[in-house]
Structures are given as C-alpha cells and as structure tokens.
Structure 1
Amino acid sequence: MSTPKSDSQWNIDLVNENDLADLLPLLRAYCEFYNQTEQIPLTDDAALMSVSRALIANPKHEGIQLLARDSKDRTAVGFATVFWSWSTLQGGRLAVMNDLYVKEGYRGQGIADLLISECARQAREHGDRCLTWQTSVDNKRAQTVYNRSGAFKNEMSQPQSIEFFVILFIFTLFLFSPIVTLITFVCLSWFWSLPMTLVLFLLYGCWMYYDRHVDSQGGRWSDRLRQLSVCKYFTKYFPLKLIKTEDLDPNENYIFGFHPHGAFSFGALGNFGTDATHFSALFPNIRPHLMLLQLQFLFPFTREILLRLGACCVSKESCEYFLRGNHGTGHALVIIIGGAREMYFTKANTMKLYLKNRKGFVTLALKHGVSLVPVVSFGENELYQRLTFFNLIPNGISWGRSFFGYIPLRRPVVTVVGKPIRVNQNVNPSTEDIGQLHEQYMQAVEELFETNKDKYGLGHVKLEIV
C-alpha cells in the first residue's frame, strides 16, 4: 500500500520485512534523540526489530508502522508507529500514535503531516473512535505538529499542574518540614483531640528514638518510592538531566563529590534522591545515597521519606558504615562538598566552589581505598536570583518564584558524573598524601567543568575554587 503526496514527492508505506533494513536507522535515531533529551536508556537493535516484527505479524490486533520514503530514490526519511488499544472513556477502540520521527534534513517539508494523516486513515479503517498521541512534556515542536493535525492529546499522560508536584516535593522534603509537622499536629488536634494527638506524637517520638541510628546505618531504601510519578514530575519541572561519562563497577563503592551546592541542591535531590532521571539504568546495580545533615532526619514523617529515598546522614560514622563494606558493594555516597558555606556563593552565571579546605572526604577515600567521582551540576546556580535589600543583608537572599521566593525558576539543570579517580588504600594517610589526592580531585573537577560548560550554556562562566 502506498499513499503518495499529490506531487508524488513522498510515499507512505506500511512496513514489511523488506523495509526493516531501512527502518532500523530511523528507529535508532529516534531512540538516541530521547536518550540525549531525557536520558532514556538506549534499546538494542534486536529489541527494536522484535517490536517491528510483532506488528508486521499481527497488524490487526497489535498495531502498524508506517515508513515515509522519497518517491524518486526510495530513501527512508521518517516513520510512525500506531498501537491499537481500548478506551473506557471513549467507549470503543483507540489508536495510540506512540512514535513519530522525521530524519533531520527532511523536516519542515510536510512529511510528519502525511504520516499523521495516514495514521488517522488507518485508524478509521480499523474501526477506532479516535487517534491519540503521546510525547514528552518538553517536546514543544512535536506537540505543535500533533495539535495542528487534529489528533487528540492524551492528557492522562501529562501532569495537569506540574508546579503542584514541585511545591509538594519541596515543601515536604526540605523547606517547611517544621511547618508541615506543626500543621499536622494542629489538624489532628482540631479534628481528633489534643490528648490523642499528644499520645500519637509521643509514640512516634519513641519510634524515632528507637530508630535513631538507621540514618547512619544504610537508611531504608525503597525502589517503589524512588520511582513514583511525583518524582518524575519534579524533575520535569526544570527539567533535570543526568549524564554519564564512564561506567562504574558495581563491585566497588564510590564517593561522589557534588558541585555546586546551589540554593537547595535540586540537581542532587532529583538525580540521586530519586530514579526519575534513570540513574539505575545508567549505573546498573549501584545505589546512590544522598548524604544530608543530621538535622534533616529530626523532623517527623519527612525523615521516613528521606530514608526510603536512600538518603543518609553525612557524618563520618555513617560514611564509614558504607565504605567498610557493612552494606556490601555497589554504593555511591553523594556528598555536597561545599555545604552551607557554598550555598551563600550561589549566584546566576557563576561557579564558585568552596573546596580548598574540604578534605574530609579525601581522607575517607584514602583510608578505605574507594574511588572519588567528581560531579558538576550545570544550571544549579541559575535556579534562583540573588536579591539585595538596601545592603541590609550583605550577601543578599536567593529568590525564585512563588511562595515567598522559595519555588525555583524553571531552568534546565544538567548533572554530569565524571570519570572516577582510582584511589589506593592507605589506612594511615599523611598530610602530603591527602593534599596530593585533594589536588588531583580539584583538577578533575576543573577539567569536568571546562569540558562541558559550553555544551550546557555556561561557556561564559569562569570556575573559581576557594
């Protein structure tokens, strides 16, 4: 079957076995696009071909793939995939246009419109009530094409108000833990009774005391919580992305040095405190643990969430619990090296790191022989503006959007995990040993920043280490 354009420039064909060799490069390019933009892991060629062959074998019940070709030289320039489904709300069959891709260099010539039109025609012949589409929240170009075509957007796959999830996440985990606790206490007292609420909080206080060591003994990991949709919506807000430069051996443990701190380290939270940016796929069998101040684990309910996200206390005892191998191998301790001091340096279009006097993590790496991995988060400092009020506050304050400036601006943040620095174990390292490794680490951070700053919009920024 062929559906040529009126000027016969393009043909749209149903994919068959003879088309698979021409279709595969397009499928691979489509997957690479989403790998680069959303860090979705790449699928191998065999798996891609298995999908296509399943559709070819049963087009009536599974779905179809369409291939766009130049009618003159038969060059394959684009494809679309439609899966057949059902919809209770529509009360009948449903066609889902899951994939649409046009080769770079051929875009803007109406090929996408032709593919969509043929998808709609095939859907009508199949007896479907409507044709829906799904795409990334941030892929505005694709959304424009789909909207122009008249295809029905599947709203159920998109967050209705992504800012709601950001506010919920930030409020619960970092900004207003004391206020959340207070509100919970007041509400329970109002709707229940003060004595019962006091008993409840007393019991929970006893539990926190009994459970007080868990944040220094590996936390309480939960894959299910790390993969919740709210985590994905949180990372989509900015959006956050995670980039790998080298594979890591799951038979070892690692110390990740995260830079810069930024106002609230959202890059660290989204990329390592959740699995929304596909850390588990990029680094198989390695668990990242966001190492936080003890204060974060003193607030009721919030501590339970943090523990199940894999977070632990950043104390020496907690770090050594992992590094001694008490919890096995395949753990990455994510330490925000600059701490609160670096937070006060946060300013857009700068990269000022408080690192020269931070050597405790280097000592730990030497004593336990674990690799140091530099991590630079590009865009972290751009999430807030630095405002001054008539010099009343010397360094000013970080100001974002709503809720008294707490909600961050919507700016992309790209976190790059650098190459590990291999460290030979030295149980009693000298000051010179520590200084030498620390200098090597600072050079690795600088190299990682300089190598990537042009790619992620900070080419004009100079790194400053203090």
Structure 2
Amino acid sequence: MSPPLELLAATAWFWIFSIGFLISIVTSIIFLLSPSFYWAVVLYAFWIWYDRKTCERGGRPVLWVRQWTWWRYMKNYFSYKLVTDEDVTLDPAKNYLFACFPHGMLPVGTFSAFVDGYQSLFPNHQAFTTVLNIQFWVPVIRELFLSIGAVSVSGPSIKHLLSEEKGGNIVSILIGGADESKYSQPGKYKIILNKRKGFIKMALQTGSPLVPVMTFGETDVFDQLDFPGLQFVRNLVKNVLQIGLVIPIGTYLICPNRVPVVTVVGNPINVTKVEKPTTEEIDALHQQFVDSITKLFESHKHKYVKDPAKTMQILGIQFAPLRVPLERRFQTLAAASWFATLAFGGFVALFLSLYLLFTRLWWLMSIYLGWMYLDRHVCERGGRPLNWVQSWKWWWYFRDYFPLHLAAVPEAKLDPKRNYLFCAFPHGVLSTGVFNAFSSNASEFHQLFPDHDARVATLHQHYFMPFFRDFALSIRGISASADSINYVLSRPEGGKIVVLMPGGAAESYFSRPGQYKVLVKRRKGFVKLALKNGTPVVPVLSFGETDLFDQVEGPTIRRFQEFVRKFLGMAPLLFIGRGFFQYSFGIIPQRREVTTLGKIHDIHY
C-alpha cells in the first residue's frame, strides 16, 4: 500500500475521532442559522431524540462500514497486529468483557481490534466497543460510531449486551478512560485501575468472563505538550464535557508517529454470576484482574517494548484492607510517628518554644533556653545517648513495619581497640536504614559489633531546636561538624563508630524508587578526617532505602529546594508515600524491605 495514503488515513482517523464532534456541532449550528437548511437540522435533531436509546440497545453496526479500506490503510500505517496470550479460545455460548489498556491519546489498538469484530481471532463472536454517552448526541459523529459497532459506556448499555442468553458478544471497555490519556507518553505505561471497580461489579452481575487486553506501542503514537496551568483546563473540560484534553505532538506535529502497535488478548478470568456482589467479592476479583493484567504486560514486554526494563505503573488510589491485625496497625503508626518526628519535629518544637515564651510558662522556657546555651557543646563532645530511649518498644514496631535489617560481609570484623568511620549511602528521603541500624536497640548492631558504641552524625542545626535536640542526642546523635567527628574518632580507648552520610541533604534530591544515585566524587572531607585519625572507613549501603518514597520534581521546585538548602542546610522535599488507609499517597513510608550492609576498608597514615 502507498505510505502517503496510510499516513493520510491514520491522520484523518485521529482528528475525525478526536475533534470531529466540534466540527459537527459548529456545522450543525451554521446550518441551523441558514434559512435554506434549518428545517433539515430540526428534523435530524428529532431523529436523534427518537433514536437516543439505540446506543444502549446493542447499537447499529453496519458491516460495509466496518470493512472500509480506510481502516486497512490506517492499520497498515501502524503495522498493527492482534495476537493472543498462548492459546486463548472463547466459548461461543458466552459473552465476554474485554478490559483494555492503555487508553493512549486515542486508542489505536482497541479501535483496530474491534472495527473488524475481532474476526481474525474470534469468528464466532460479535464485538462492540464502548464510548462516552455524549458522543451519541453529536450529529453525524453518532452515526459513524453506531455504524462501526460502538455503544454507550453506561451500565444499562453494557449489561444489555452481556446479558444476551445466546452469548457470542464481546464488549470492550477502556477502563482508564479519558483520565488515562493525560499520562500517555512514549515509552511509558501508566494505567488507571486501582479505583476502577465498576467493570468488576458488572462482570459479577452478568457472570461474564473478564479478559485482560494490553496494547503495546499505544503510548508511542503521540507525545504530548504540557505546561503550567494545563491541568486546571483539563479538569474543567473533563468535568463539563467528560472528555480528556490533550495536546498531541507527532510526526509533522499533527500526524501520528509511525510505530508498531500490537494488541495482546489475555486468558479469560472465569466469573461466577452474583446478582448482588459484596465488597469483598468485588475486591477479590479486582485483585485477580490486577495480577492478570500485570502478568500479561510482563510476559510480552520483552517482545514489544523497546526497553524491556520498563514496568507498568498502575495509577489510582489503592485502599488498604479494613481488617488488619492490630500489630500491623501499630507498625504503621510507629513508621508514621517516626517520619513526622524527624521531618517536622524540629520545626514544631521551635514554634512551640516561641509560643511558650509569650505565656505564663515563659520563665520555665527561659530556664530551658539557658540550659540549652550551657549544653550547646555536648553535640560536639560525643553526645548524650540514653539507653532507655533506644530501647523503646516503639522501635521494634518501626523495624518490623518495613522490615529493616542490618548485616555485615563475613570479613567485617572490628578491632575493639580502634575507632571506625561508617560512610552510609544512599541518604534517601530520611535515612531509615541508618536510623534503625545505629540509633535504636531494635537492630542487630550489638550482635554484630558487641565491643563498639555508635554515634550518628546529623546536621548541626538540629541541636539548636528546643526539645528536638534532646531527642536527637538520646538516640546517639552528634553534630556532623568536623570538630564533633574528630572528637569521637580520636578517643584513645577505641571502640567508637561514627556513622556519616557524605551525600547529605543534596543526595536526597535523587532518591527515586529503584534508583541508586550517590554524591561522593567531590565529597572528600570524610576522607581527610579518616586520614587525620588513622580511622578505617567502612562503606555502608542501605538496599531498598530509595524505594520508601517517591517525590515530586520539576525545575521550579528544584530551584526552590536549592535556595532553602543553602540557607538552612536542609532539603525541603515534596515526597509521596502512603497513608494510614490507602497505599497511593501520604507521608508514611512505603512498606519495603531495607537491608543495611557494610564492609571495612583500612586507611593508613
């Protein structure tokens, strides 16, 4: 076939189905205002009203339209293929619900698969796809949708087809819908599924098997333009018109990219009919489907994805089960309180102290501030650890939440007469592995190094914050200044360990799940300290540290973070964790295993 015709067919298909409704509406208004044609528009409007239920009663597919050469040109442009996972067969006496991902800018795979009725794979079934109900109120466009086998995405429409007693129907639904289109970017597979359970309920009520369908290459068809303020406009259009607003960028700007698109139909999930399914039944089937679509993606990405290391990200709020053992609730609370204390405790304590100075307790606060002044050097003289604080039961709950482990390579034996400098990487959002390993008694530290006492070096600014300083000191904290570290490493009796994070606050910017980026090439101060004291250096890695939080990033955000870090020495991160009752966002770390591991390197004078 002619490449120019294929390009024209693909481009025309995209723009007719994406903005054709606007052209149709504007044209209808023009004809309505014309003295010669207004009567035709009025008659057609009556026809639309009379025919309004057709989209909910199986539609009106027209075979010759579904066999247009135009569709063939369009599919050839994308080198489109429709395949199955292993040997998928469908029972002609059953109706099937095809749950399709991803939506993309405009679903090339889903359209190409159903427009010929899946005849190449399932000749005994008639295929329908679902589109927004508003499309069937748009003149002319509604007729095109009906003729190619589209029906309304409403509940009654889907239930009508899936309830056919003779079977033989396939109903395709793009579960992510218009919302999913804004995440469509080349090489990325982000689908909205966690909160989408209506199709699960429909499958249970009709007893229709669920079929996961994944289209590879869908997100490569277009890139899209994004800029500040677009999200607000998107939400407005979505709320008013129920359509997704995207600004595509393709070949010659307006043409789809010529990329291979492959739709893979997975194995059906058999469903037992339940007229009134319970929440537990819906959740169980939903989880089974999530596992199935994930397996389908992982099984075929090596064939159809340019970078097989890519993973599929399932978006949407994932709620935690309501029935959770009490111990796990305590673990979650311990992790949340630890993070809140370390991230915000200093500032809360500072504001509380300022408030108390203007109350009747001003004299008590003044005495405490005087004590702080007299005690200001303790953070540089080995600190003031309190064993009873380090032995709180709370730290055991905190450890088991992730869980956290401390390990050492077999040859990591410490001389009890020497001091050691442990250099820990990566920093992460908050150094969870380091805290557990060296600041509490819940770790294996004393079993691994029974003859040594650890100190964790943190920002000097922490010891100027009322109350918070005492907490930091009690859990083996000392200042990260050179004088402080020198003081501990120069103890003649030995048996001291200073734990330092050379990457510091700047390294936390690079903390992303699955990535390990450390700042060490230009960080040589710790080497100078080790040489000065003849202290062995122990590199320490916390595996899993970067998986506990994701974070929001951007050029403007980074400039603000750098501005604050230069003045305060702390990096203000916009982190994304989980909540108490859902796993999708919040300030609580994700429940991921973290193992902290070290190996000794001796340094001589």
TM-score range, shorter chain: 0.5 to 0.7
Q: 1:238-277 maps to which residues of 2 (within 5 A)?
A: 238-245=78-85, 246-272=88-114, 274-275=115-116
* Alpha-carbon distance, 1:300 to partner: 0.9
Give the structure with higher Rg (CA).
Answer: 2
TM superposition shift of 1:346: 1.2
Superposition pairs of residues 346-361 of structure 1, within 5 angstroms: 346-361=184-199
CA contact (8 A) 2:100 2:174 kept: yes
SS in 2 for 1:196: coil
Mapped pair 1:196 → 2:66: no
Structure 1 position 424 matched with structure 2 position 272: yes
SS class of match (1:423)? coil
Cα distance in 1, alignment partners of residues 100 and 39 from structure 2: 41
Instruction: State the 1:180 CA deviation.
Output: 3.7
Asked if the contact 1:250–1:284 (Cα under 8 Å) also holds between the matched residues in 2, the reply is: no
Cα deviation 1:307-337 (Å, max 9, x = unaligned) = 01110000001011112217x4111110000
Is the 1:338–1:354 contact (alpha carbons within 8 Å) kept by the matching residues of 2? yes
3-state secondary structure, aligned to 1:165: helix
Mapped to 1, the partners of 2:25 and 2:179 lie a distance apart of 27
How far the C-alpha of 1:239 sits from its partner, in A, is 2.5
Give the aligned partner of residue 23 of structure 2: 179
Report the Cα offset of residue 433 of structure 1: 0.5
Are 2:301 and 1:464 aligned?
Answer: no
Aligned residues of 2:10 and 2:256 also touching (Cα < 8 A):
no
SS in 1 for 2:293: helix
Q: Which runs of 5 or more structure 2 residues have no equivalent in the other structure?
A: 235-244, 316-605
Deviation at 1:181, TM superposition (A): 4.3
| Structure 1 residue 353: Cα displacement | 1.1
Q: Does 1:383 align with 2:383?
A: no
**2:139 & 2:251 partners in 1: Cα distance?**
26
Query: Which consecutive residues of structure 1, in runs of 5 or more, have no partner in the other structure?
Result: 1-136, 138-157
1:168 maps to 2:16: no
Distance (whole Å) between structure 2 residues aligned to residue 347 and residue 289 of structure 1: 27
Amino acid at match of 2:261: V
Answer yes or no: is the 8 Å Cα contact 1:171–1:177 preserved in 2.
Answer: no
Out of 191, 202, 205, the residue aligned to residue 367 of structure 1 is: 205
Please report how far the alpha carbon of residue 172 of structure 1 lies from its aligned counterpart in structure 2 after TM superposition: 2.9
- 1:385 Cα deviation from its structure 2 partner: 1.3
For the 8 Å contact 1:254–1:331, the answer to whether it is kept is yes
The DSSP-based 3-state class of the residue aligned with 2:302 is coil
Decide whether the 8 Å contact of 1:383 with 1:400 is kept in 2.
Answer: no
Paired residue for 1:289? 128
Decide whether the 8 Å contact of 1:220 with 1:307 is kept in 2: yes
Tell me the equivalent position of 1:38: none
- What do the CA deviations read for 1:200-252 (whole angstroms, capped 9, x no partner)? 11111010000000000000012211111011011112222211231111211
Asked if 1:449 is matched to 2:314, the reply is: no
Aligned to 1:212: 52
Q: Secondary structure at the match of 1:263?
A: coil
- The secondary structure found in structure 1 opposite 2:211 is strand
Q: Tell me what 1:438 maps to.
A: 286
Deviations 1:282-309 (A, max 9, x none): 1012111110111111211111111011
CA distance in 1, matches of 2:4, 2:257: 19
1:348·1:386 contact (CA, 8 Å) conserved in 2? no
Pair 1:402–1:456, CA change in 2 (3 A): closer
The 8 Å contact of residues 365 and 423 in structure 1, kept in 2 or not, is answered as yes
Question: CA separation in 2, counterparts of 1:172 and 1:384?
Answer: 16
Residue type matched to 2:153 in 1?
A: V
**Match of residue 415 from structure 1:** 263
Q: Secondary structure of the residue that 1:282 maps to in structure 2? A: coil
AA aligned opposite 1:231: W
One-letter identity of the residue aligned with 2:282: I
The CA distance in 2 between the partners of 1:380 and 1:399, in whole Å, is 13
User: Could you say which residue in structure 2 is the equivalent of 1:67?
Assistant: none
The whole-number CA distance in structure 2 between the counterparts of 1:250 and 1:302 is 31
- CA gap of 1:212–1:406, structure 2 versus 1, over 3 A, is farther
How far 1:339 sits from its partner (Å)?
A: 1.1
- Preserved contact between residue 101 and residue 174 of structure 2 (Cα < 8 Å): yes
Please tell me the residue identity of whatever aligns with 2:160: Y
Deviations along 1:429-462, whole A, 9 cap, x unmatched?
1110000000000000000000000100241211
Q: % of aligned pairs identical?
A: 33
1:393 aligns with 2:230: yes
One-letter amino acid of the counterpart of residue 347, structure 1: Q
- Which aligned pairs between 1:25-424 and structure 2 lie closer than 5 A? 137=1, 158=2, 161-183=5-27, 186=30, 194-245=34-85, 246-272=88-114, 274-275=115-116, 279-325=118-164, 328-389=166-227, 391-393=228-230, 397-401=246-250, 405-424=253-272
Secondary structure, aligned partner of 1:304: helix
Deviation of the 1:465 alpha carbon = 1.1
Classify the secondary structure of the residue corresponding to 2:60.
coil
How far the C-alpha of 1:176 sits from its partner, in A, is 2.4
Measure how far apart 1:184 and its partner are.
6.5
> Residues 436 and 417 from structure 1, CA distance in 2 versus in 1: closer, same or farther, beyond 3 angstroms?
same
Deviation at 1:392, TM superposition (A): 4.3
Counterpart Cα distance in 2 of 1:427 and 1:181:
41
Shift of 1:167: 3.1
Q: Given residue 362 of structure 1, which amino acid in structure 2 is its aligned partner?
A: I
Query: Aligned-pair distance for 1:185?
Result: 6.1
1:114 equivalent in structure 2: none
Q: 1:237 corresponds to which letter in structure 2?
A: Y
**Aligned position for 1:110:** none
Give the whole-Å Cα distance in 1 for the aligned partners of 2:186 and 2:225. Answer: 11
Q: How many Å apart are 1:183 and its aligned residue? A: 3.9
Letter in 2 for 1:447: K
Q: Distance in 2 between matches of 1:197 and 1:402?
A: 39
Q: Report the CA distance between 1:383 and its aligned residue.
A: 1.1
Structure 1: distance between partners of 2:36 and 2:160: 38
The CA distance in 1 between the partners of 2:254 and 2:193, in whole Å, is 26
- Length-normalised TM-score, structure 1: 0.61
**Are the equivalent residues in 1 in contact too, given 2:193–2:314 (CA < 8 A)?**
yes
Secondary structure (helix, strand or coil) at the match of 2:263 reads strand
**Is the 1:240–1:271 Cα contact (8 Å) retained in structure 2?**
no
Over the residues paired in the alignment, what is the CA RMSD in angstroms?
2.2
Report the CA distance between 1:406 and its aligned residue.
4.4
Per the TM alignment, residue 281 of structure 1 is displaced from its structure 2 partner at its CA by 2.5
How many Å separate the matches in 1 of 2:91 and 2:19? 35
TM-score (norm 2): 0.47
CA distance in 2, matches of 1:237, 1:322: 32
Corresponding residue SS for 1:242: strand
- Structure 2 residue matching 1:235: 3-state secondary structure: helix
